[in-house]
Chains A and B, each alone.
Chain A
Amino acid sequence: GDSVTQMEGPVTLSEEAFLTINCTYTATGYPSLFWYVQYPGEGLQLLLKATKADDKGSNKGFEATYRKETTSFHLEKGSVQVSDSAVYFCAQNSGGYQKVTFGIGTKLQVIP
């Protein structure tokens, strides 16, 4: 079945460090791919998305590229800030509003 695999964390980085959170997926067909972020005490909110192969989603300095050949959608940011501390969820949608699958979430802690 469809699934999303991401590193569990926690990931601890110093401010201004480079961030990579890996995400791979298995799906029938060609899914849309998403990164959601959950700040403490809040629900999930969309960070970025890509809907077809080789698309790059970007927002707030974060980027992820849809790689069909490696079935991956890794999240990157060149210089993290303390305010980026949150839990990051990779997700896929393989074909309809009912078919969203989330990863386990990766907790990121950025220290000054």
Chain B
Amino acid sequence: ETGVTQTPRHLVMGMTNKKSLKCEQHLGHNAMYWYKQSAKKPLELMFVYNFKEQTENNSVPSRFSPECPNSSHLFLHLHTLQPEDSALYLCASSSTSGGATDTQYFGPGTRLTVL
């Protein structure tokens, strides 16, 4: 596989469930990102990892818990979510060597619905 892959593509869960989203990149990048995409809103950056170390947490509620075991894999663990958390969750990766010029490469996203 090439590029950035995400599983599952669709997820429906109840508010009391626990689930995880998985992201894998095959591009040799060292930075990985989680974004939330909701209708009528700009993309919201949630978490950033660089060489497995979390470098950004944009005031995300603790019901979202990221994990980055290595530079190629990123997880988002979900528990006791709210209906307003329903959205498309996008994973991305990039190199960090180019500074402001680096391009981010996105996966296809996981469409999450919280009932």
Q: Which of B12-20, B60-68, B92-100 is the interface stretch? A: B92-100
Whether the Cβ atoms of A43 and B100 lie closer than 8 Å is: no
What size tier do the contact residues of chain A reach?
A: 20 to 34
Could you tell me the distance between the alpha carbons of A43 and B19 in the complex, rounded to whole angstroms?
Answer: 21
Q: How many A-B residue pairs have CB under 8 A?
A: 65
Could you tell me the distance between the alpha carbons of A36 and B35 in the complex, rounded to whole angstroms?
Answer: 15
Whether the Cβ atoms of A104 and B42 lie closer than 8 Å is: yes
Question: For residue B4, which residues in chain A have a CB less than 8 angstroms away from its CB?
Answer: 43
Whether A42 is near chain B, meaning CB under 8 Å from some CB there, is: yes
Whether A89 is near chain B, meaning CB under 8 Å from some CB there, is: yes
Whether A4 is near chain B, meaning CB under 8 Å from some CB there, is: yes
Contacts A89-B43, A98-B56 hold; do A43 and B90 have CB atoms under 8 A apart?
A: yes
Whether the Cβ atoms of A43 and B109 lie closer than 8 Å is: yes
Question: For residue B90, which residues in chain A have a CB less than 8 angstroms away from its CB?
Answer: 43-44
Interface core residue of B40, B41, B43, B96 (most chain A CB under 10 Å)? B43
> Closest Cβ of chain B: how far from A51's Cβ, in Å?
5
Could you tell me the distance between the alpha carbons of A7 and B104 in the complex, rounded to whole angstroms?
Answer: 22
Interface core residue of B42, B50, B103 (most chain A CB under 10 Å)? B42
Whether A93 is near chain B, meaning CB under 8 Å from some CB there, is: yes
Contacts A49-B101, A97-B48 hold; do A102 and B42 have CB atoms under 8 A apart?
A: yes
> Closest Cβ of chain B: how far from A58's Cβ, in Å?
15
Whether B70 is near chain A, meaning CB under 8 Å from some CB there, is: no
17 contacts between A and B (CB under 8 A): A4-B42, A41-B108, A43-B6, A43-B90, A44-B43, A46-B105, A51-B101, A93-B100, A95-B100, A96-B99, A97-B48, A97-B50, A100-B45, A101-B42, A103-B42, A104-B41, A104-B42
Chain A positions near chain B (C-beta within 8 angstroms): 4, 8, 31-32, 34, 36, 41-46, 49, 51, 89, 93-105
New A-B pairs, 9, CB < 8 Å, besides A43-B90, A100-B45: A36-B106, A43-B4, A44-B43, A44-B90, A93-B100, A93-B102, A94-B100, A97-B50, A97-B94
